[in-house]
Chain A
Amino acid sequence: MDKMVPYPSGAIVPERDVEKTPILETHHLGIDFGGLTAVDEFSITVGRTEISGLIGPNGAGKTTVFNLLTNVYQPTRGTIMLDGKPTAGKTTAQVNRMGIARTFQNIRLFSNMSVLDNVKVGLHNSVKEGFFASVTHSLGYGKAEKKANERALRLLDFFSMADMANADAGSLPYGAQRRLEIVRALATNPGIILLDEPAAGMNPSETAELMENIRRIRDTFNIAVMLIEHDMSLVMNICEGICVLDHGKIIAKGTPDEIKSNPAVIEAYLGKKKEADGNAQG
């Protein structure tokens, strides 16, 4: 693993990413829901090929950060720069085309469509097939579909899912559904992929496979990966940079070793744990 060094902006990223435009930068990002401040003063920098983690207790605001980064929510304050360009005022679909893709905490597949079609929907913007080609099944339709099928199958094969291509997405086992969501997101050819609790509900062997896959994604596609996870061994194992969120605010940023020994982090987690224990006893 490359050494973590400070970015000009002060953020800590792997050495290999320094001096390249960061794939993602946020400045003082914040959002209020009515009176509740869900996220506040969220400033981070993510290197082009960095694997980073976003952790924090339940309700800390992690998923809300992902929703802000993909413009599902419009921020109340602050700015987001994706590949050096601001994303303010863009739709979710537009920021995806700018290079950010994601998966969801509660799986959101097109469950009535086949596995292959789910990936082909992900390829939507790279398939050159206009309305009239669609309606007449000519004018380049055959070529476009053939290319889409080949690319979708290659992507599925990368995650050993090619043999499930014709199954209904909704009928897949849980672990495979989570994997398919990642494949679909990768199909959009992003510069950064956001994974919201990719290991949730997985057994240890599936989790180990997932870790391997996340590294392969970064190495093969040369993109940044940012993940939300409660499984600490996974996070500490594969993340180069970690950002800890509590009550919507960043309480620590750094390498896994720094985070492990950070008193504020221990406090946030142990504090929660004590509360939970107390509740269980009471």
Chain B
Amino acid sequence: MSIASKYKALSKYARTNIKTYGLVIIAFAIMFPLQSTGTINNSISGQLVPICTYIVLAISLNLTVGILGELSLGHAGFMSVGAFSGVIAAAAFRDSVASDPLRLLIVIIIGGIFAGIAGLLIGIPVLRLRGDYLAIVTLAFGEIIKNIINCLYVGIDSKGLHFSMKDTASLGMTNGKIVLNGPQGAVGITKIATFTAGFILILITLFIVLNMIYSKTGRAITAIRDNRIAAESVGISVTKYKLTAFITSAALAGMAGALYAMNFSTVAPKKFDFNTSILILVFVVLGGMGNIMGSIIATTVLYMLPELLREFADYRMLIYAIVLILVMLATNSTKAKLITESVKFKIKGVFVRKNKDDSDKGEVTDNG
């Protein structure tokens, strides 16, 4: 059997996996030597870790929006929880864990755990309700988290961590180090994030999300999205599986946030605002609901675009808003659907006609 025919014989699931992992691995294999030898310019190589984090964010949001079918407008909030809990963890483990990669791993795990807990706290009351409450609550959550961290002061000295909601003076440290400085956010971060770490985090995210889609858990989640009443009627506990998807999504966003923070020397809380949440949502919508590879491609392209068109950066959000509206119209209106369907049908028709020119009379219409 040739490789091509072997590939065709694989299940749809195996083919999706090969394509998605393949894309990520090939992209890394190309970019890694370019970056480490300094062949690409600084402005692009500085974007590699952020792109990796946004890819993880888009994949994880796709789990909530595309696979579970619930709208979340506060994904940046989970990113923020992960980023700042990660920053605090990095400060706390600074002396006890000498190895940078190991410390990064701990930081990412802690960021994931805290964001997962935030997801749990939001999900338990909200996901029991029917309707689009999640959109409203996650929107509020993003803003609340931003404002809380805006007035959060954290410092570390020989006695350990100190927290305050007032100012740095009230931390009560003599010669400690400030970790979180209110509106300024995290300061004095040691940059330990690497492109390789970003690549590995994408692989882990893919592993979790793709495995989940093709499993009992994933089937239950998709069933709830497709028809909640039918899913309940076959004994699926809706709240449990909505929570499972939502918490996984939040935890992955937290891990991405922690990696993101470890790539800069300072990170301000206002970085994780509503615009960032919408940005991630745009990546998901443009990449296609439930389409993981689409999320990866859309994120990469859209994230690089403003970088390449620097002078238009002011209009970035405006362009995104317009594109989002257009795409929503295109994917949600029945008229647009009919148009795409008929175009597809026509394209197909051309090829079918070419292949079997005398089979017209044998055509069977099955409307009975």
Contacts and interface: CB of A to CB of B under 8 A. Distances in A.
A127 B227 CA distance: 20
A136 B227 contact: no
B215 A125 contact: no
Interface string A230-263: 0000000000000000000000000000000000
Contacts of B232: 72, 91-93, 96
A137 B366 CA distance: 40
A108 B217 contact: no
Interface in B225-250: 226-227, 229-238, 244, 248
Interface string A90-129: 0111101100011010001111110001001110110101
Interface stretch (A10-18, A32-40, A184-192): A184-192
Interface in A115-151: 117, 120-122, 124-125, 127, 129, 131, 133-137, 141, 144-145, 148
B305 to A, nearest CB: 31
Contacts of B237: 91, 93
B101 to A, nearest CB: 23
Interface string A168-183: 0000010000000000
Contact of B234 (A124, A131, A148): A124
B154 to A, nearest CB: 33
Contact of A113 (B226, B229, B235): B226
A57 B53 CA distance: 60
A134 B235 contact: no
B137 interface: no
A108 B219 contact: no
A121 B219 contact: yes
Interface residues of B, number: 28
B229 A134 contact: no
A97 B235 contact: yes
Interface centre among B220, B222, B235 (most CB of A within 10 A): B235
Interface string B211-222: 110111111101
A124 B219 contact: yes
Nearest to B218: A134
Given A113-B222, A137-B215, A141-B215, A124 B235 contact: yes
Interface residues of A, number: 41
A70 interface: yes
Interface string B62-106: 000000000000000000000000000000000000000000000
Contacts of B226: 109-113
A93 B212 contact: no
B286 to A, nearest CB: 20
Contacts of A104: 229-230, 233
A129 B217 CA distance: 8
A173 B211 CA distance: 31
B140 interface: no
B324 interface: no
Contacts of A122: 234
B228 to A, nearest CB: 9
A102 B232 CA distance: 11
A109 B223 CA distance: 9
17 contacts: A93-B238, A108-B229, A110-B226, A110-B227, A112-B222, A113-B219, A113-B222, A121-B231, A124-B236, A125-B235, A133-B215, A134-B211, A134-B212, A135-B248, A144-B216, A145-B216, A185-B233
Interface of B: 208, 211-212, 214-220, 222-223, 226-227, 229-238, 244, 248, 366, 368
Interface of A: 70, 72, 91-94, 96-97, 101-102, 104, 108-113, 117, 120-122, 124-125, 127, 129, 131, 133-137, 141, 144-145, 148, 173, 184-185, 187-188, 203
Q: Closest 7 CB pairs between A and B?
A: A134-B215, A96-B235, A134-B217, A108-B230, A92-B232, A110-B226, A129-B216
